Structure 1
Amino acid sequence: MADLIVNGGKPLSGTITPSGNKNSVLPILCATLLTDEPVTLRNVPNITDVEKLLRFFAEQGSYVSWNPAACTLTVCHKTFDTAQLSGELPAGMRSSVLLFAPLLQRMGSLRLPTNAKGCSLGIRELDPHLEILEKLGARLSRNGGQHSLTLAQRFRGARHWPDYMSVTATENFAMAATLAKGQSVLINAASEPHVQELCQVLVGMGAQITGIGTSQLVIDGVERLRGGEFTIHSDHHEIVTFLALGAITGGEVRVRHSLPQHFDLIGRAFAKLGVAIEHEGDTARVPAGQRLAVAAPFTPNLLPRIEAAPWPYFPVDLLPCMIALAARAEGTVMFWNKVYEGGFGWMHELAKFGAHIVVSDPHRVTVFGARPLHPTVVDAPYIIRAAVALYMVAASIPGQSIVKNADTIRRAHPNFVENLRHLGAEVEWRE
């Protein structure tokens, strides 16, 4: 575990180039198992989950060429040896469930892992994945406490309407249906930018997918996929993180390759807290010295609120950054997490700074902003953006704070401390 030592109170200013989207590159890496031809990816973030997947590929005999400095890698699974696989998938990463469909397609059988996990947001069920894979022809069998999936030859096309929009289940559907026999339809599909990017890469490999970016995907299965070269898009989570850091410290931060087409609703969430985000081409900018203040709604008897839910709602993973801003803003605002029941379990850590927060239930909190804050020591949960939010508040307060166990940030933010120092922050890792 590593702690962040923070000497706060300084405006952070400068220009940042964000890394590639973690939530795009992981399913895309899994999708490379669907072809025996080489796949080259550029703008790949140097994060622990990527390293785990590449190590897994190499252990099965796949060709892996990884240049972390250049953020470029090439993989080829022509020499993938199914006999090497012990049945255990990469440990310590929730995204290992994204290997289900491609490994079933390649191997015909798979023992379900007991070690798939992600963070502390709440229960992360496997049922939606199993429902999709069974609907597309896989067979689930149980032998005592061990569960396994088998597939005869290839997936078959089917129509499925899940209970809710699941990003990873939608991605498993797309990978399974791409090589299925016949047409597959997923209603209530997730449409986040990283889901769209996976589908676009699959199309670049020869898949036939319509409805990308909507709640209904229609996929006509093909016999085989080819390789190719693809560049991973910027991580919109990291873009928002550094803009929020500029806003909470009163500095001017510019972020290149900022995907302005995804910012309509995100920009309005910033505006509810008094922060204007400007776009100059594909560069986003937060001007210096903005007064953080909650905008009053037109309907006077309603509490201002920011609601987070599956895309195209405000992204739930970015809610902690907005909560950190609200702790500094004048006024009161409610936050509503409509996805994770464990998303607000870290509010007591934020309160250690002096923030005034009322937890209504597992999905709603109200922040009473502009209370006097002081430096302190906090414990970060195993939630990437919550750890970032605790750093944000610490960076806005003069004096030294410590964010303990903050290395979960490394799962999504390569060179996090280096980027902060580039913006003028006084911060360091203590291993």
Structure 2
Amino acid sequence: MADLIVNGGKPLSGTITPSGNKNSVLPILCATLLTDEPVTLHNVPNITDVEKLLAFFAAQGSQLTWDRDSCTLTVSHRNFDTEQLAGELPAGMRSSVLLFAPILQRMGRLRLPSNAKGCSLGIRELDPHLEILEKLGAKLSQSGDAHTLKLDGRFRAARHWPDYMSVTATENFAMAAVLAEGESVLINAASEPHVQDLCQVLVSMGAQISGLGTSQLVITGVERLRGGTFTINSDHHEVVTFLALGAITGGEVRVRHSVPQHFDLIGRAFGKLGVAIEHEADTALVRARQPLHIAAPFTTNLLPRIEAAPWPYFPVDLLPCMIALAVRAEGTMQFWNKVYEGGFGWMHELAKFGAHIAVSDPHRVIVFGARPLHPTIVDAPYIIRAAVALYMVAASIPGSSVVKNADTIRRAHPNFVGNLRSLGAEVEWGT
């Protein structure tokens, strides 16, 4: 595990080009298993989860050509050997659940991995995935402690209304239904930008999908999908991260390819903390020396708050960046994570800097901002944006701090330290 060594207190200013969206590239890579034709992807981020997935493909005989300098990857599964797989999926990668539908399409059989049930954010149940796949014709069996999914022939169309919006379950539904017999409908579908990205790629491969960006997907199955060339969209999480870093350090940061169509609610969340985000074409920017001040709501007997939930709510993954800003802002704000019960388990690390935070329950915290802070050593949880938020606070405090075990950031930011240094940060990876 690597640590971030931080010499903070310096405004970060400059221009950043974000990497491709981690949450888009992983399901899109899994969807390449649905065709034997070559698929070429541009703007592929060089991150650990991509490495693991490609190593899995290579072990089964897939042909891969990855030019890391140009971020271009070509995948061909024509020689994918199902006999080598034996039902095993990549270990240590939560997103391996995204392989469920494609592997069943290709093999007709899959042994469920025991390592796909949770992460540092809390329990992530497999039930929504199993309900969808069984509804579409797969059969679940158990022998001792082993659970196996089997599919006889093609998936069969179905209508399904899950308990809640799950991103990965929606993506599994889409990858199963595009080659199923008949018309499938998913009500209460997730609609995050990365779900839309996957569906748009599937449509370009020949799938028939309507309802993109809404909570209802209608998919008419086709006989086969083709290959093609596609570009991974920018990661809006990374765009927000660097804008927030500019705001918390008092610098001026511009982020190219900022997908401004996703920023209406995100921009308003920044505004609640006194930060104005501007857009010049597809570049987002935060101006220097903006005073961080929490805006009081018109209904004065309520705390100002930011609520995070499935899209089109404010994204849960970005809540830590807003919490870091609130630690520095004048005023008091409540944050409400409506998804993960473990999303606030790192608040005691912020307190080491001197931050004042009251944990109301597993889903809500209250931040009392603008308290005196000091540099210190903190331990990052295995949560990407929580590690980033700890760095944000450290970067805003003059003096030397250490964010230990911060290399989880590399799961989403392939060049985090390099980008920070280009903005004038004094930071390096330590051991």
TM-score by length of 2: 0.99
User: In the alignment, which residue of structure 2 is the partner of 1:88?
Assistant: 88
- 1:372-430 Cα shifts (integer Å, max 9, x gaps): 00000000000000000000000000000000000000000011000000000000001
User: In the alignment, which residue of structure 2 is the partner of 1:223?
Assistant: 223
For residue 118 of structure 1, report the CA deviation from its aligned partner: 6.3
On the 8 A contact 2:87/2:109 being kept in 1, the answer is: no
- 1:131-176 Cα shifts (integer Å, max 9, x gaps): 0000000000011100000000110000000000000000000000
> Counterparts of 2:87 and 2:362 in 1: how far apart (Å)?
36
For residue 68 of structure 1, report the CA deviation from its aligned partner: 1.2
What are the equivalent positions in structure 2 for 1:128-139 lying under 5 Å apart? 128-139=128-139
Counterpart secondary structure, 2:123: coil
On the 8 A contact 1:19/1:414 being kept in 2, the answer is: yes
On the 8 A contact 2:137/2:151 being kept in 1, the answer is: yes
Q: Where do 5+ consecutive residues of structure 2 fail to align?
A: none
For residue 87 of structure 1, report the CA deviation from its aligned partner: 2.2
> Counterparts of 1:250 and 1:209 in 2: how far apart (Å)?
45
1:74 paired with 2:74, answer yes
> Counterparts of 2:148 and 2:66 in 1: how far apart (Å)?
32
User: In the alignment, which residue of structure 1 is the partner of 2:279?
Assistant: 279
User: In the alignment, which residue of structure 2 is the partner of 1:165?
Assistant: 165
> Counterparts of 2:216 and 2:226 in 1: how far apart (Å)?
25
> Counterparts of 2:14 and 2:117 in 1: how far apart (Å)?
36
Counterpart secondary structure, 1:342: coil
Q: Which runs of 4+ in 1 moved over 3 A?
A: none
> Counterparts of 2:12 and 2:375 in 1: how far apart (Å)?
18
User: In the alignment, which residue of structure 1 is the partner of 2:242?
Assistant: 242
On the 8 A contact 1:32/1:75 being kept in 2, the answer is: yes
For residue 317 of structure 1, report the CA deviation from its aligned partner: 0.2
For residue 325 of structure 1, report the CA deviation from its aligned partner: 0.1
What are the equivalent positions in structure 2 for 1:20-31 lying under 5 Å apart? 20-31=20-31
Q: Which moved more, 1:107-116 or 1:230-239?
A: 107-116
On the 8 A contact 2:117/2:126 being kept in 1, the answer is: no
User: In the alignment, which residue of structure 2 is the partner of 1:147?
Assistant: 147
On the 8 A contact 2:117/2:125 being kept in 1, the answer is: no
Q: In structure 2, what residue type is equivalent to 1:168?
A: T
1:194 paired with 2:194, answer yes
- 1:68-104 Cα shifts (integer Å, max 9, x gaps): 1110100010100001113221111110000000000
What are the equivalent positions in structure 2 for 1:2-401 lying under 5 Å apart? 2-116=2-116, 119-401=119-401
1:422 paired with 2:422, answer yes
On the 8 A contact 1:92/1:117 being kept in 2, the answer is: no
> Counterparts of 1:141 and 1:133 in 2: how far apart (Å)?
13
On the 8 A contact 2:324/2:389 being kept in 1, the answer is: yes
Counterpart secondary structure, 1:301: coil
On the 8 A contact 2:118/2:125 being kept in 1, the answer is: no
Q: Give the superposed CA RMSD.
A: 0.6
* Sequence identity percentage: 86
Q: Where do 5+ consecutive residues of structure 1 fail to align?
A: none
Counterpart secondary structure, 2:219: strand
For residue 119 of structure 1, report the CA deviation from its aligned partner: 3.6
- 1:320-342 Cα shifts (integer Å, max 9, x gaps): 00000000000000000000000
> Counterparts of 2:417 and 2:351 in 1: how far apart (Å)?
24
For residue 235 of structure 1, report the CA deviation from its aligned partner: 0.0
- 1:262-310 Cα shifts (integer Å, max 9, x gaps): 0000000000000000000000000000000000111111110000000
